Structure 1
């Protein structure tokens, strides 16, 4: 990551980031940026991710941050995680949920033929885990008043993206949990939000069938272009800081303007060329789509 100005937005704060895997992951970049903005942090992931990821390297980059093994889909693990966090770090000012997984996508099963056991696992790991983290953080009195809880979402929670499959359902659940928890946490000035990020080349994102096409399309449809993992982390700093003390229950789009666009000139020109070129239309499977007379 290139050296950039830092502003001390999280100076004196403490937090934990769940789910960072390697340098490509948004959770990793959020952890590094939080540390550089002055926070003391802890890092958490499942045991398998710690074996195959670069957690020790991330810990070193973040001032030898404590690393806590936790499967966020298991009550006992989450309970133990927060007990350990409180012992090693103390009460925290932010929690970052950067967790997502779909075996159905990994195995490329069509949405109409989902394995329901895997589907339930997708919902549990990618959605319900946020509820579990917040609930056990409260039970263990780990969150300070005025804290910020942040999870990562995607626009497929609200619109259909064919190959995003059951992860779209999981992100819908994630955002619903944010809305349901919002008023309950607000009693203590704690806010909870999601960031809906552009398609990003992470280990998880790259596993989605046709991801490169999805990425290119989004980039053409975004006035400012796709946002990178680093740029997402930079934006997240404002959401974790006191600058956003009155922002809660929001799904915050960080996508170069994609979510507000109907069409862009490049996409209109591309569609026109394809629909009027029979050979090209056939090559990409659009021969049945014809321009209106």
Structure 2
């Protein structure tokens, strides 16, 4: 039986689509560690994915919500408090989508209407989420909010398109709201920059399989597996990390501090 690190904690998890998604793994680990939470995704994602299967397996309720809609978010958090029986202790934002990347548009020839949609879904939704939580006073004292990011926010990965800027914006929102939430009720806000991971979204990026191998060879510990990311996120939701806030935390086997690994030359 897993350590009951999150016993008594209430949460909301965004973005689980299928058993290959990080949010699915995180939900599974949080359940094993004793947390109770609601699950949410956009209505279109609910039709495409298998979220109801996850919900049935862990006894969680699913509340459909478009993360770009303030009205949907207000309904989500109000209903979650009612279902869970109190204020929310943790929230996971695991949302990212780029039509430009899906359509394999080169960075120097992006569709800017699609770019704005990318920013709204992948980054501005985080600000909207935090704003609704803040104004509605939905977060319990010493709660934890996490967004999933990627090192492309700091470094150039050409095939990642405008998702790189989206992740940089996400990290900036986390820092800024981290200040406001900290002053309000000691809630911490962070982002986790995860290794390349064989998720449904990741595998849709051109050249991802090759880059996965590159990241694995570059990192002294290798790419961090999804389940270890889930354990790390659960720790960030727990009371053991009460004074960690406004940080972008690399969970990447050391990749972020490497310049060159001789293994790449072999």
State if a TM-score over 0.5 links the two structures.
Answer: yes
What is the SS of the residue equivalent to 2:66?
A: coil
What is the SS of the residue equivalent to 1:160?
A: coil
Name the CA distance, whole Å, in 2 between partners of 1:74 and 1:103: 19
1:85 Cα deviation after fit: 1.4
Residue equivalent to 1:11: 7
The more displaced of 206-215 and 75-84 is 75-84
- Structure-1-length-normalised TM-score: 0.88
1:88 to 79, 83, 88: 83
2:136 to 136, 140, 151: 140
Name the CA distance, whole Å, in 2 between partners of 1:190 and 1:140: 14
Alpha-carbon RMSD: 1.0
Residues 227-284 of structure 1: CA deviation (Å, up to 9, x unaligned): 1111100111111101100000111111111111111111133xxxxxxxxxxxxxxx
1:84 Cα deviation after fit: 1.6
Residues 167-214 of structure 1: CA deviation (Å, up to 9, x unaligned): 000000000001111111112110011110001111111110000111
Pairing 1:127–2:136 present: no
Residue equivalent to 1:155: 151
1:149 Cα deviation after fit: 0.2
Q: 5 Å matches for 1:1-293?
A: 6-62=2-58, 64-89=59-84, 90-187=86-183, 188-269=185-266
Question: 5+ unaligned residues in a row in structure 2: which ranges?
Answer: none
Question: 5+ unaligned residues in a row in structure 1: which ranges?
Answer: 270-293
Name the CA distance, whole Å, in 2 between partners of 1:113 and 1:237: 39
The more displaced of 47-56 and 102-111 is 47-56
Tell whether the 8 Å contact from 2:134 to 2:181 is kept in structure 1 after alignment.
no
Residues 45-89 of structure 1: CA deviation (Å, up to 9, x unaligned): 011111111111111222x21100001011211122112212222
Name the CA distance, whole Å, in 2 between partners of 1:115 and 1:76: 28
Residue equivalent to 1:284: none
Name the CA distance, whole Å, in 1 between partners of 2:152 and 2:181: 26
1:8 Cα deviation after fit: 0.9
What is the SS of the residue equivalent to 1:252?
A: strand
How many corresponding residue pairs?
264
Name the CA distance, whole Å, in 2 between partners of 1:206 and 1:75: 30
Name the CA distance, whole Å, in 1 between partners of 2:4 and 2:81: 23
**Greater C-alpha Rg:** 1
Name the CA distance, whole Å, in 1 between partners of 2:78 and 2:251: 33
Name the CA distance, whole Å, in 1 between partners of 2:226 and 2:111: 31
1:6 Cα deviation after fit: 1.6
Residues 30-52 of structure 1: CA deviation (Å, up to 9, x unaligned): 11111110100100001111111
Tell whether the 8 Å contact from 2:218 to 2:255 is kept in structure 1 after alignment.
yes
